[in-house]
Amino acid sequence: MVRTSSIEIYRIDDRMKFSTPLIPAIFIERPNRFLTRVEIDGKIVESHLPDPGRLKELLYPGVELRVQSVPEDSQRKTRFTTTLVKTGDVWVSLISIRANTLAKEWLMSKQIPYYESYDYERAEITVGNHRFDFLLTKDKKLYYLEVKSVTFSNQGIGQFPDAITARGTRHVNTLAKMKKEGISTGILFVCQRHDIESFKPMWDRDPVFSQALFNAYNDGINVFCVSAKVNEKGINYYKEIPVYLSPPER
């Protein structure tokens, strides 16, 4: 980041630029988890939604979106992908798998402070019946890392999950078990927006996952959270933010 007086200029890595131009759109409705109806130039069309979360705080009639068109030779029924949503003056990425793409780039370029001393090995690592996102090494020792995408914010607090995730709970419990067996493990939450100042699990939405995460942290697995700067040109690393995992006081 370069500062010029009060102006902040974010250098966007070419690999993090959007592959096709973004098209202005307005959200109309969401018939199912993976489909949105949007208005483009006065015409209502269907657009694929890559984020299966509830997203009710972000997607409501009239909210401003950016979508991307799919290649002409694509066999997909929907011709657009819902990519960004605007909340206030902040753009939020709606492609949950992009958290993995970002994490890979940041790990390889050593932008995440804790992982600067780790070497990236490969993605999609199978351990027993589970598949984890990344394998890293440090001093020839293996380190398994799982990545989770965060889009929900409550007054500057990023939270996950916004819907019950049994799969996420299984991942956390397996990582904790591996840690007890002497294998280094971690979870990285990637906030696909820049206005988040801290992270907490969403205890009221999924107490089982939240408790599993809290227990796993106490068992020694690493839990970190970072945020991304999102705009209409692309996405880039922003900063690491603190995590608070303890259950809420009753």
Q: Which long-range contacts (CB under 8 A, 24 or more apart) does 88-92 make?
A: 88/195, 90/193, 90/194, 90/195, 90/230, 91/66, 91/193, 91/230, 91/231, 91/232, 92/58, 92/151, 92/192, 92/193, 92/230
Judge if 109 and 170 occupy the same domain.
yes
Residue 248 maps to a domain: no
Query: 73 with 150, same domain?
Result: no
Could you list the residue range(s) of the whole structural domain that residue 58 is in?
A: 14-88
192 lies in some domain = yes
Dist CA 250 CA 247 (whole Å): 9
Tens digits of residue pLDDT in 21-33:
899 999 999 999 9
pLDDT in tens, 176-188: 999 999 999 999 9
Is residue 236 in a domain?
Answer: yes
8, part of any domain: no
In a shared domain, residues 106 and 82: no
125/82 same-domain check: no
Say whether both 164 and 187 belong to one domain: yes
Residue 123 has a pLDDT of 94
pTM: 0.90
Whether residue 204 lies inside any domain: the answer is: yes
The answer to whether position 140 is within a domain reads yes
Q: Is the domain of 143 the same as that of 111?
A: yes
**Beta pairing partners, 141:** 138
Q: Which of 45, 69, 88 is the last residue of a domain?
A: 88
Query: Are 132 and 72 members of one domain?
Result: no
pLDDT in tens, 132-142: 999 999 999 99
Domain boundary (31, 66, 88) is at 88
Q: Does residue 232 share a domain with residue 196?
A: yes
Which residues are registered as beta bridge partners of 120?
A: 136
Q: What CATH number is attached to the domain comprising 198?
A: 3.40.1350.60
Q: Chain-wide mean pLDDT for the chain?
A: 90
Say yes or no: 130 and 213 in one domain.
Answer: yes
Which residues 6+ apart lie within 8 Å of 64 measured at CB?
A: 24, 25, 26, 27, 85, 86
Whichever domain contains 25, its CATH number is 2.40.50.580
Single residue among 88, 120, 138 that ends a domain in this structure:
88
Q: How many domains does the chain have?
A: 2
Under the banding of pLDDT at 50, 70 and 90, the label for residue 250 is: confident
Confidence bin at 218 (pLDDT 50/70/90): very high
pLDDT digits (tens, 9 = 90+) for 3-58: 222 223 233 444 477 878 899 999 999 999 999 999 999 999 999 999 988 999 99
